[in-house]
Structure formats: C-alpha cells, structure tokens
Amino acid sequence: MTEFFSFLKLPDANSTYGSSRYVIFGVPFDGTSSFRKGSKFAPDAVRIAWDNLESFDFSTGSDISEARICDLGNLKEESAVEFAVDSVETVTRMIKADGRIPIMMGGEHSITVGAIRNFRNCGMIIVDAHSDFRESYHGNKLNHACVTRRALELLGPNRIVSIGTRSVSREEYESEDFKKVRFISAEEVREKGIEYFIEEIRGIVGDRIYFSIDMDGIDPAYAPAVGTPEPYGLKDTDVRHLLKQFSTEVVGFDIVEFSPQYDQGNTAMLAAKLIEDFISINSSKLNP
C-alpha cells in the first residue's frame, strides 16, 4: 500500500502501522468544489499547524505522543472524484479490517462517501453548515453537495444526524427523504445549547459512529478558511463537546473542507486541535 502515499507526517505519529491504534491519512482532492477551491492543500497545512501543539493534553492528562498514531501520508491526487472516492474506500477498508481507527484529512467532503462504504452498520454524526442532500450537483452524484444523500443510501433512514445546518436548497428541503436524516440547525444549538441534543443524537446514531466534521459547520469567526463559508455557525466548543460525548463510540473519523490559502493559521490550528482532541479523549477514556 505504500505506493499510495506521500511522506510528510504528523509530529506525534510515532507508531508503525502494525503497532498503531489510530491511522491518519490525507486526501488532497477538491475536484468538485463549487466556490473556493484549495482544500487539497489542507492535509499538509494541518500537519504543519499540529507541530505547534503540545503533545500533553492538560484536560485529559494524557500524552498524545503515546496514543499509538500512524500517519500514512497523503494519497496521490486524483483527477476525478470517482477515483478519489474509490481510493478512500480501498484504504479505509484496509485500516478497518486491521482493527484500527481511520482518521482522514480532506480534501473536500465528497471523499467521505468512500470511507462510509465500509461502515454500513454504523450511525453517523456530521458537522456541516449545508444539508448536502442534493441528488446530484453539476451532473455528478458524488459532488460534495450530495454527501449526506449518499450517506443515507448507504446507512439507511434514521441513522444520521447532521448538526450545524443553516443552508438548505428548496429542492433538498422538499425531498421526500429529507426527514430521514435529523438536521439540527446551528440556530437551535444557539437557543438550547449543545447538551440539549446529546441524548437525542445518541438515540439515533447508536454505539458505533462514523464522525465527519466539515469545517464550514463551525462559524467563520472560528474557521474562516473553508470552501463554502456560511455565517451564524456552531462554536468551536460545541464541536469539542460532541467529541467528548461520543468519542468512545467513534469507529471512523474525518475532517474536511478546509482551504489553507484563505487562512491566517487559525483554521488550520483548529482542525489540528479537533483531531488531537478526538484522539486524546478517545484514548484517555479507553485507557483511564
């Protein structure tokens, strides 16, 4: 499998693949991005930002350098979304079959479809400003604007929660399948607080979860450098609270739609910190 990957690694990725629990890989693909391209550069930007983070996590008392992380590097850049999604499916299948947790750094949100093809018996939490529920967009069913619709087809009804929603087309809203996904708006979260929704989410997604963070689900005040920014989003601490609540049930994880060329460093740092938080919380709960 090594021919698939580049060689820039996370600073705390000290484990070999054979001894790892968490396997990170980047996917430099933004071929269907419809507004601001550039997310293909995100994986390495996150790695560079990570280098400024402490390995010791004060909140959990754990050292992430001891968490058994392997970083495979980046997949080769594909020209077509079909090839990118298929490559993600292949690599994620390998990681899952070997009993490890795949952590994917995008790249645009379309690539998530390749990962969840391997997690059909799971529920799913999506952080996203957009419903991404189009049947197709620009003539392509694998467009980044269709990922939640494809997830519904793979996982089935009433198993997906998308949180942070604030952009939905009329076509999506009027779809007969729209209510088969629980969309929780950012406005609802502001009014009621993130904790209000935790038990509802748990009842939908169950105890095996694929967790996908589209960075545009977070308010541009915290994450301005995204492909399709939308005002009035979630707080960064809302997303961290979700990770704290659900980390031990997460069997696959990705973070997507960060475009470094629009950044002054804060979006890259937040993306790196969210990945670090997931690993730190997950490993500390499993090894108290």
Over residues 161-200, the pLDDT tens digits come to 999 999 999 999 999 999 999 999 999 999 999 999 999 9
CA dihedral 171, 165, 27, 63 (to 10 degrees): -170
Mean pLDDT of the chain: 94
pTM over 0.85: yes
Domain boundaries of the chain, sorted by first residue: 2-286
Token pair for residue 39?
Answer: 């997310």
Q: Give the strand pairing for 62-63 and 56-57.
A: antiparallel
pLDDT tens figures, 6-18: 567 888 999 999 9
Fold (CATH) for 2-286? Arginase; Chain A (3.40.800)
Q: Is the pLDDT of residue 288 over 60?
A: no
Please write the tens of the pLDDT for every residue from 106-125. 999 999 999 999 999 999 99
* pLDDT score recorded for residue 285: 67
- Percentage above 90 pLDDT, the chain: 86
pLDDT tens-digit series, residues 230-277:
999 999 999 999 999 999 999 999 999 999 999 999 999 999 999 999
Query: Each residue of 209-244: b (16+ CB within 10 Å) or e?
Result: bbbbbbbbbbbbebbbbbbbbbeebbbbebbbbbbb
Spatial contact of 259 and 39, defined as CB atoms under 8 Å apart: yes
> CB–CB of 247/210 below 8 Å?
no
Q: Are 10 and 47 in contact (CB under 8 A)?
A: yes
> Residue 143 has what pLDDT?
87
